[in-house]
Amino acid sequence: MGHSAAVWDYRAATEITKDWNGVEKIVLRSPRGASARVSLHGGQVTSWRNDQGEELLFTSSKAIFKPPKAVRGGIPICFPQFGNCGSLEQHGFARNKIWTVDENPPPLSPNDSHAKSFIDLLLIPSEEDLKCWPHSFEFRLRVSLAADESLALISRIRNVNGKPFSFSFAYHTYLSVSDISEVRIEGLETLDYLDNLCQKERFTEQGDAITFESEVDRVYLGSPNVVAVLDHERKRTYVIRKDGLPDVVVWNPWEKKSKSMVDFGDDEYKQMLCVDGAVIKKPVTLKPVVAEPDFSIHGKWRSAKLKVETERDSGHIRGTRWAQLSTHLTVHLRCKMNAIIGQEQVGFIAGRSIIDNVLWNGVPTKKFRPIRSIRQGCPLSPYLFVLCIEWLGHRFHGSISAGEWNPIRLSRTDPNLLHLFFANDPVIFSQADLFHSGILKVFLSNFCELSGHKVNAQKTNVFFSSGVNESLRSDINIILGFQEVNDLCHYLEVPLFHRRVINSNLDFLVKRVCSRLSSWDAKKLSFAGRVTLA
């Protein structure tokens, strides 16, 4: 039986033991039975189990657990070099070294410790490391497991050298999947990537979502901070949140390469997928600091399980085509955008406000200062918004057709209840579970990335129906980050009813119509008008 998060002793939930090589490993446990195992060998997370005891990370049955060889699976840390793009050994040396438990780590934000079992590790270079990479550093790693079974890794790197140094980095995350052919990644579509299988040549992702049918070894550049990996067969979604990690590595060795790796089973490529938050294209340059570390990167993994069976229907083809069409248009418009829209224009470049400079037939106009706010005053603004929000609608419809989203219905014969969109006032209906909340968050985040809009978290409310229990509500609120309300009040001035509607609820409408009618002069109406009115 699970324990309540409020009375759970998070300190006692962290246990240090030794593996069969005598290397210390730390087990973190959550109140509801999730666990994570971290080894001092490589500072590597080697296991992460959910509340049901299911393993979420892949480890090869042929993995070699003997330092200095890195273990094939879990989450190896690639530092200070990713891959072979430098003078060091592949993926740097951090994953091969023995780390220590950091007894006195500099404090992190209270959110990173509250209601979590965690461990702090430390890596300091040895004499031998300094010979091949002459930079003194302190690498602090916090691994934590929250009550909602999510796993978080925070890396803090400090330069204690006299000179600046540069490094690349990745959380090389081996996710366990049912069957690679049933998996898709969402959040990377339309991005540029470097293809390691084509001498790091740069391409643009054309697919609607990333699926797998052969070897893949890519570095996606400038990715959104939320990426989802959907495993259709297991009905499981991994939601990867990252911060300070602009790139995402996607790797599956497929059949031929698997056979060439001694620590990997010939068929094991079917059960794994690496999706790594990383900093590769533009390495981080770290100046020496005296007090606080100036580089910190966060990664958070959440696994949500879909509890409801999904169906595929004949709408699948149409949904997929719609999605492909919009992706295609986006990819092609993207390259033309800079020629059409000035860098100073708002709405398309995040964080900028419009002050001047519009391209007219490719030539910048004279500078001007708008006297009305562009969003509220510009007659074009609502149309642009409607075009953008259409994308979100298609995203939902496409995902129903693809069997990723299970819409709700009020009764068996009613149509799907998905969303109400009126200008900038959307209402979205969803099942109250972690899976749908994770997907919704990804959709909203993709929408913001593509359109340049932001969701105003303070003005966005979540309403739960009465059957949703407290703990699920709180998990969903953590995922969505919006506020829970007991009443959604009005939509376009019409009150929204949350319980069974009875006649008297609509009295206000009758009164309003009566009062309008009382001001009319019935005598002046034609016979046909009176009949219509009646």
Ligand X SMILES: O=P(O)(O)OC[C@H]1O[C@@H](O)[C@H](O)[C@@H](O)[C@@H]1O
**How many chain residues bind ligand X (CB under 6 A)?**
9
Would you count residue 201 as binding ligand X (CB under 6 A)?
no
Q: Report residue 510: phi and psi, to 5°.
A: -60, -45
Would you count residue 196 as binding ligand X (CB under 6 A)?
yes
Q: Any idea which residue has 């979420």 for tokens?
A: 56
Instruction: Tell the smallest beta-carbon distance from residue 276 to ligand X (Å).
Output: 6
Would you count residue 255 as binding ligand X (CB under 6 A)?
no
CA distances from 103 to 25, 100, 119, 152, 270 (A): 15, 9, 9, 19, 40
CA distance linking residue 387 with residue 402, whole number of Å: 23
Binding mask 365-404 for ligand X (x = CB under 6 A): ----------------------------------------
Instruction: Tell the smallest beta-carbon distance from residue 251 to ligand X (Å).
Output: 4
Would you count residue 58 as binding ligand X (CB under 6 A)?
no
Would you count residue 83 as binding ligand X (CB under 6 A)?
yes
CA distances from 278 to 86, 88, 165, 209, 438 (A): 16, 17, 17, 20, 21
Figure out which of the listed residues 217, 231, 404, 433 binds ligand X, where binding follows CB under 6 A.
217
Would you count residue 90 as binding ligand X (CB under 6 A)?
yes
Q: Examine residue 68 and say whether the peptide bond preceding it is cis (omega within 30 degrees of 0).
A: yes
Figure out which of the listed residues 25, 37, 41, 91 binds ligand X, where binding follows CB under 6 A.
91
* Residue 301 vs 396, nearer CB to ligand X: 301
Closest CA to 160 of 287, 55, 327, 259: 287
Binding mask 487-516 for ligand X (x = CB under 6 A): ------------------------------
Binding mask 231-250 for ligand X (x = CB under 6 A): ------------------x-
Provide the residue type at 22 as one letter: G
Sole window of 83-91, 186-194, 345-353, 465-473 interacting with ligand X (rule: CB under 6 A): 83-91
Would you count residue 187 as binding ligand X (CB under 6 A)?
no
Q: Which helix (H) or strand (E) holds 156?
A: strand 151-159
User: Please, which of residues 106-145 interact with ligand X by CB under 6 A?
Assistant: none
* Residue 197 vs 423, nearer CB to ligand X: 197
| 62 Cα distance to chain centroid | 31
| Spatial contact of 203 and 193, defined as CB atoms under 8 Å apart | yes
Provide the residue type at 301 as one letter: W
With a CB cutoff of 8 Å and minimum separation 6, the contacts of 329 are none
Name the residues that contact ligand X, by CB under 6 A.
83, 90-91, 172, 196, 217, 249, 251, 274
